[in-house]
Amino acid sequence: MKILVVGSGGREHAIAWRLAQDAEEHEIYCAPGNAGTLDVATNVAIKADDLEGLAAWAEAEKPDLVVVGPEAPLVAGLVDALAKVGVPAFGPVAAGARLEGSKRFAKEIMDAAGVPTGKAEVFTDAAKAKAALPDYGLPVVIKADGLAAGKGVIVAETTADAEAAIDDMLVGNKFGAAGAEVLIEEFLHGEECSILAMVDGENAVLLPSSQDHKRVFDGDKGPNTGGMGAYSPAPVVTSDKLPLIKEKIILPVVRELKKRGIVYRGILYAGLMVNDENANPHGPLAKSGSTVNVVEFNARFGDPETEAVLPRLGGSFATALLHAATGCLKNEDIVVKPETAATVIVASGGYPGSYEKGMSISGLESSVASPSTIVFHCGTAVAEDGGVWTSGGRVLSVTGIGANLREAVDRAYGQVEKISFEKMFYRKDIAHRAFERG
């Protein structure tokens, strides 16, 4: 198959890499890609947000499939634009991507579909929002409605912090139009996990579960990031929960969208809060009464979850993606390997705040030699001298694969220790929650 992967991060490197593992040979392109995707694909110099450029390339090159990585082009309508030029794409149309692009819309769909999630209300007026705070107790969650580069969610421990977040969004315009509507949401207790469901408009197949590490420092300290590591499977998602997640969360959402004329194809990523005795013996259940509640939906593969989940998939990945994109996904399209995977993000000093770019990276050569570790590139570029430089906050995503979690984690860190660049850092406690469970 001739396939274009849109995006330039670790997620897109993992998608292109996994396509290259298929038994059948593919012609893989990445737009714009990074220094790592060059190993498995041909980079095309078109940015992920250049919808016209991507549609023109697709019209001229006629790929069999376009796989869209990031949310912004999905929300902006890339899949709709590709449909107009007759090219199948893996990813929802803009109307479906609103599940991620508007938290208010996501709540509306969940309410209509009876999906368990925290209680929430939408406000455009700061005084009214503040007046509602006592109904929610503390902590309370304040969310900007729209896309805010992962910064639009504030978990406020005090009323003063909650009021400040409301003022920032509704009065100070901190997130522009994305924060013109604000949700106040009930705080959900428990342990988070990520479920990526592959959806073909009607049917869904769950990919292996995973857990992300959102905070920047060990022990879940410091500000939220795009994700500092992941592992798969996540033991908090016990097998008895999988049918519940599919039947009570994923499929009702897909059906509700269809009822509204929206055929959702691609990944439906459910960020879930699991609260059962094993996960959190001290936390009260969410008000909805369910042990699994939706925290958020994303309209795409997670990053770094993808770097831990895709190495666990067998079979033909291209076929699964094409079947989902064209409405004929089958359970057999997803083959899960028994191995465990753990991913450690190697980041630039200062991330998620400001950081320097252009640091020379050493130690990447050895990554190719080992079948049990893979070094995915997130923010890298090829320098003039042919070396690889840092070009982002999250620089590399190092995945270890093993017979069990300990082996996977040790292999990932063993590889990370061979890599160096100025001011690099990484979390040293990836998968700690799984280990704490014993």
Applying CB under 6 A, which residues contact ligand AMP? 118, 141, 153, 155, 185-188, 192, 214, 271, 295-296
Q: Closer CB to ligand AMP, residue 80 or residue 305?
A: 305
- The binder of 320, among ligand AMP, ligand GLY, none, by C-beta within 5 to 8 A per type, is none
Residue selected from 200, 305, 307, 333 as contacting ligand GLY according to rule CB under 6 A:
305
Smallest gap from Cβ 10 to ligand GLY, in A, equals: 10
Q: How far apart are the first and last CA of the chain?
A: 44
For residue 198, CA distances in Å to 125, 232, 246, 297 come to: 38, 16, 11, 13
Whether the Cβ atoms of residue 291 and residue 275 lie closer than 8 Å to each other: yes
DSSP code at position 350 = T
Count of CB atoms situated within 10 Å of the CB of 237: 24
Asked if 12 is part of the footprint of ligand GLY (rule: CB under 6 A), the reply reads: no
Q: Closer CB to ligand GLY, residue 118 or residue 226?
A: 226
Q: Which stretch binds ligand GLY (CB under 6 A): 141-149, 156-164, 216-224, 295-303?
A: 295-303
Q: Closer CB to ligand AMP, residue 1 or residue 148?
A: 148
Residue selected from 232, 298, 316, 391 as contacting ligand GLY according to rule CB under 6 A:
298
- The binder of 305, among ligand AMP, ligand GLY, none, by C-beta within 5 to 8 A per type, is ligand GLY
Q: Closer CB to ligand GLY, residue 36 or residue 271?
A: 271
3-state secondary structure of 281: coil
- Binding mask 217-236 toward ligand GLY (x if CB under 6 A, else -) reads ---------xx---------
Strands (E), 228-386: 229-232, 265-274, 292-298, 313-314, 335-336, 340-348, 373-377, 380-382
Asked if 7 is part of the footprint of ligand GLY (rule: CB under 6 A), the reply reads: no
Smallest gap from Cβ 189 to ligand AMP, in A, equals: 7
- The binder of 303, among ligand AMP, ligand GLY, none, by C-beta within 5 to 8 A per type, is ligand GLY
Asked if 146 is part of the footprint of ligand GLY (rule: CB under 6 A), the reply reads: no
Pairing of strands 140-144, 65-68: unpaired
Whether the Cβ atoms of residue 348 and residue 415 lie closer than 8 Å to each other: no
- Which two three-digit tokens encode residue 139? 């902590």
Number of residues that bind ligand GLY (CB under 6 A): 7
Whether the Cβ atoms of residue 430 and residue 368 lie closer than 8 Å to each other: no
Task: Report the site for ligand GLY in 183-212 (rule: CB under 6 A).
Answer: 212
Asked if 256 is part of the footprint of ligand GLY (rule: CB under 6 A), the reply reads: no
Is residue 62 classed exposed, middle or buried when 0-12, 13-18 and 19+ CB atoms within 10 A define those classes? exposed
For residue 340, CA distances in Å to 140, 210, 238, 319, 403 come to: 35, 10, 15, 23, 6
Q: Closer CB to ligand GLY, residue 9 or residue 88?
A: 9
Pairing of strands 65-68, 89-90: parallel
* β-strand partners of 347: 394, 425
Residue selected from 302, 311, 352, 379 as contacting ligand GLY according to rule CB under 6 A:
302
For residue 215, CA distances in Å to 19, 222, 376, 396, 429 come to: 30, 6, 20, 17, 11
Smallest gap from Cβ 139 to ligand AMP, in A, equals: 8
Smallest gap from Cβ 301 to ligand GLY, in A, equals: 8
Cβ-proximal residue to ligand AMP, closest one = 296
Smallest gap from Cβ 230 to ligand GLY, in A, equals: 7
Pairing of strands 313-314, 211-212: unpaired
Q: Closer CB to ligand AMP, residue 298 or residue 380?
A: 298
Q: Which stretch binds ligand GLY (CB under 6 A): 2-10, 171-179, 299-307, 426-434?
A: 299-307
Smallest gap from Cβ 72 to ligand GLY, in A, equals: 13
Residue type, 264: Y
List of residues contacting ligand GLY (CB under 6 A) = 212, 226-227, 298, 302-303, 305
